[in-house]
């Protein structure tokens, strides 16, 4: 008779329901968006200009980078418009992360996709921030975006890690599987 421990360790967990992936993804995205928004709110408040960053990015989003030269006027339309786009973007990333984590739980090789996605997002935001920062005369420091992204990634992955405890067990055996 085959080794019972070996049979138990190779049983694949059931696939996640689409509704679970959807809700987890939206919640994950909300965590990331809130972490980034809170980070920039604190930074802006410390500089005596609350809501400066969403106003700056909202001005760029609605009116172009020329309109943001010399600092934006902090107005509700720009802040709300950017906040909406910010949450939608994070919802998309959260949904993708949730789906990949559910795959990772079943197929540990998907962990490499997660790593590549994380690195691509970080590099993409770094390049975008550098381009925007050059156009805005340093109004949006690159380091602040890097820290915000790392904090958001930690919060989002921390939540997903807790939602998918089987990932840790499967990842431990990643190299053992044929």
pLDDT at residue 137, rounded to an integer: 61
Q: Where does 47-141 have alpha helices with state H?
A: 52-63, 76-106, 110-135
pLDDT at residue 5, rounded to an integer: 44
Residues 150, 36: Cα–Cα separation, whole Å = 9
pLDDT at residue 135, rounded to an integer: 63
Listed as ranges, residues in the chain with pLDDT below 70 are 1-16, 132-138, 170-178
Nearest to 133 by CA among 23, 74, 36, 56: 56
Residues 31, 154: Cα–Cα separation, whole Å = 10
Whether the Cβ atoms of residue 71 and residue 138 lie closer than 8 Å to each other: no
pLDDT at residue 72, rounded to an integer: 76
* pLDDT single digits (tens) 7-51: 444 555 566 688 889 999 999 999 999 999 999 999 999 999 999
Q: Match 């990015």 to its residue by tokens.
A: 57
* Sign of CA pseudo-dihedral 92, 95, 98, 100: negative
Whether the Cβ atoms of residue 41 and residue 50 lie closer than 8 Å to each other: yes
pTM of the model: 0.80
Burial of residue 124 (number of CB atoms within 10 Å: 0-12, 13-18, 19+):
exposed
């Amino acid at each position: 008779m085959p080794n019972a421990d070996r049979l138990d360790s190779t049983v694949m967990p059931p696939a996640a329901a689409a509704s679970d992936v959807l809700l987890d993804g939206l919640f994950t995205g909300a965590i990331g968006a809130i972490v980034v928004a809170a980070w920039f709110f604190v930074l802006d408040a410390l500089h005596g200009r609350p809501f400066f960053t969403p106003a700056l990015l909202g001005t760029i989003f609605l009116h172009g980078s020329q309109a943001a030269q010399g600092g934006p006027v902090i107005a509700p339309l720009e802040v709300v418009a950017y906040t909406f786009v910010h949450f939608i973007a994070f919802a998309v990333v959260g949904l993708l992360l949730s789906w990949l984590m559910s795959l990772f739980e079943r197929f540990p090789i998907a962990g490499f996709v997660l790593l590549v996605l994380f690195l691509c997002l970080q590099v993409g935001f770094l390049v975008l921030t550098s381009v925007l920062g050059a156009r805005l005369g340093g109004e949006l420091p690159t380091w602040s975006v890097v820290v915000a992204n790392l904090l958001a990634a930690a919060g989002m992955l921390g939540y997903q890690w807790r939602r998918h405890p089987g990932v840790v067990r499967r990842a431990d055996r990643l190299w053992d599987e044929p």
